[in-house]
Structure 1
Amino acid sequence: MEKVKLGSQGAVVSRMGLGCMGMSEFYGERNDQESAATILRALDLGINFLDTADMYGIGDNEELIGKTIRNRRDEVFLATKFGNKRSKDNPASVVVGTPEYVHSACDASLKRLGVDHIDLYYQHRVDPNTPIEDTVGAMAELVKAGKVKYLGLSEASPATIRRAHKIHPITALQTEYSLWERHVEAEILPTVRELGIGFVPYSPLGRGFLTGAIKNTQNLGAEDFRAARYPRFAQGAFDKNLVLVERLEAIAQRKGIKASQLALAWVLAKGKDMVPIPGTKRRKYLEENAAAVDIHLSSAEIAELEAAVPESEIAGDRYNTAALKSVDR
């Protein structure tokens, strides 16, 4: 697996990372044994960039990763996030970015992960009630204390990114980006590239939709929240979006690859400065995803894909109204 620079502060990661959220919550039933095996298989494949957050499974995801990598910590570039405050008693998330919370959240994550430092520490969502200068100032204190190596933001607006970067260099911005979600292209990507900030696309497979494996919402399962949280999975929009996926599948079949691999190859073709983190909890899909780094698309093929999945035909918002409120714009 090729290694690339992430941002301009010295971070080096695998060309593709592994998103671990679905291992503990949100996308159906858990299987910690298979999830742990998937993490270890990722390391065997040279994927060293693991992405988690304190809110995933309300701490369970960090604990799972910490136990799994304990004997292989030196192989891992470990990223986690704070800012969506949750508890077992109150699972609904509240965005918090106060300096006091930054420090307490980091200490709690270090304990759950069982590590002495976090490689990349993100603010998961921007707190509208706390100046970004105060939040990033506290994050910078973590760097000085040796608890964190690099700083990141998630779902931040261009203006917020610029303000944050003045307080302490930001290594990476994590925001949704895929064939069916391209809002970052207008202002966000130009901003991070100007500032030398790396870009980490999450949900590069459209929360699994671009794999072609989801043909109806009924087979998602009771513990899968996609149909409730994401309007693109709602019944009316789902059928329209399925047409776009079928076009993607047709092109992939012609090339002799999976639709998921083609969708990831499209993201990878957008620049070496971006490192996608497709999520999975199964070794089979991890291996399929990893193989996408060897698929190289011509400019004509990229244009064909974008014509097959035009932004104008994507039905539904990427988040429901409540979730969109937490996105910095």
Structure 2
Amino acid sequence: MDRIKLGRTDVEVSRLCFGSLTMTPFQAGLTVKEGAYLIEYAYDKGINFIDTAEIYENYEYIRAALKGIKREDYNIATKTYAYTKEMAKNSLELALKELNTDYIDIFLLHEQESIHTVRGHFEAIEYFLKAKEQGKIRSIGLSTHRIEGALAAREVKEIEIIHPIINKYGIGIQDGTVEEMLKVIEEIHQMGKGIYAMKPLGGGHLIREVEDAFNFVKSISAIHSIAIGMQSRDEIDANINLLEKGCMPEDLKDKLVNKKRKLIVADYCLGCGNCVRRCKQHGIELINGVATPNEKCVLCGYCAKVCPEFCIKVI
């Protein structure tokens, strides 16, 4: 698999990034042994880049996989909500300890909303800059679901890498359109910053048009790598085919498209009711102030497009 440097950093990654949230108890619930095997399998297929976060609670999976991987040839991106020096120190020490590694390749501020949030987290950035000088971090960045968050990465020179949400319909972009996000991504690319995309399939909602959805993101020249969740060998093989050939073998496509899936609502649902009003199938309702799918849900994914917190996903 082709590799590329993330902007002007010296972090060289595969064009496909292993999104590791989907294997955790929050979603597929794989065992550590099963998850580690998939990470190693993907590495043997050429994927040398994994995306995780402190909140995913899956460092143990990656640590187990690293026993069979050349650490110097592997790139780990993790994320933290830390905004003070002490919180940043704790997040870094936790990652280093639980991953059993001497350094983290990419440390991101998680879910940044705007320049104001980044400024509010600057004490953490300053700590990470010192850790970078000490060789404990190779690069610093942010992840965002918002155009304003992407604009913050454009404005803050210390941010070297951005992990933005982008897909053909703009599912999950909280403050604008896909066209607006693409414009900012291109500007950031021109500045020499690294960009790896998230949610090319809109949190699972675009699985029935998987080839078109993936190829849309792959065609964006400003994006260096694409992070996508993988929880089986079939998904790894299918995604590699998408990256390298633009399509899937029909047998894999049938397996994945017809895989039994379900709608989940994260526990941070605000109970705003947007999804209920949007659903023409009456497949989701508010129960005790939380959006809850019912037997009428057809997994169309339209409700996710109006969720202000992107807390609705298909798995």
- The structure whose RCO (Cα within 8 Å, separation 6+) is larger is 1
Give the AA of the match of 2:135: G
Match status 1:178 vs 2:175: no
What stretches of structure 2 of length at least 5 have no aligned partner? 172-176, 248-300
SS at match of 1:276: strand
Alignment of structure 1 residues 283-302 onto 2, 5 Å: 283-295=233-245
Give the drift of 1:132.
4.2
CA deviation profile, 1:64-104 (whole Å, cap 9, x unmatched): 10111123123311111111xxxxxxxxxxxx411221111
Q: Distance in 1 between the 2:98 and 2:75 partners?
A: 16
Match status 1:63 vs 2:60: yes
SS at match of 1:71: coil
Give the drift of 1:184.
5.2
Supply the RMSD in Å over aligned alpha carbons. Answer: 2.6
Alignment of structure 1 residues 111-130 onto 2, 5 Å: 111-126=97-112, 128=117
Give the AA of the match of 1:52: T
Match status 1:269 vs 2:231: no
Q: State the match for 1:81 in structure 2.
A: 79
Contact kept? 1:34, 1:283, Cα under 8 Å: no
Q: State the match for 1:92 in structure 2.
A: none
Q: 1:4 to 1:292 in 2, by over 3 A?
A: same
Alignment of structure 1 residues 139-178 onto 2, 5 Å: 139-155=128-144, 157-165=149-157, 168=158, 170-178=159-167
Contact kept? 2:167, 2:178, Cα under 8 Å: no
Q: Taking structure 1 as the reference length, what is the TM-score of the superposition? A: 0.67
Q: Distance in 2 between the 1:135 and 1:121 partners?
A: 11
Contact kept? 1:63, 1:112, Cα under 8 Å: yes
Q: State the match for 1:24 in structure 2.
A: 24
Q: 1:129 to 1:151 in 2, by over 3 A?
A: closer
Q: 1:200 aligns with which of 179, 196, 200?
A: 196
Give the drift of 1:142.
1.4
Richer in strand (by share): 2
Contact kept? 2:78, 2:107, Cα under 8 Å: yes
Give the drift of 1:320.
3.6
CA deviation profile, 1:25-63 (whole Å, cap 9, x unmatched): 33243343332221111111111011111100xx3x111
Percent identity (aligned): 25
Q: State the match for 1:226 in structure 2.
A: none
Q: Taking structure 2 as the reference length, what is the TM-score of the superposition? A: 0.70
Richer in helix (by share): 1
Q: State the match for 1:100 in structure 2.
A: 86
Contact kept? 1:261, 1:291, Cα under 8 Å: no
Q: Distance in 2 between the 1:202 and 1:276 partners?
A: 6
What stretches of structure 1 of length at least 5 have no aligned partner? 84-95, 213-247, 249-259, 298-313, 325-329
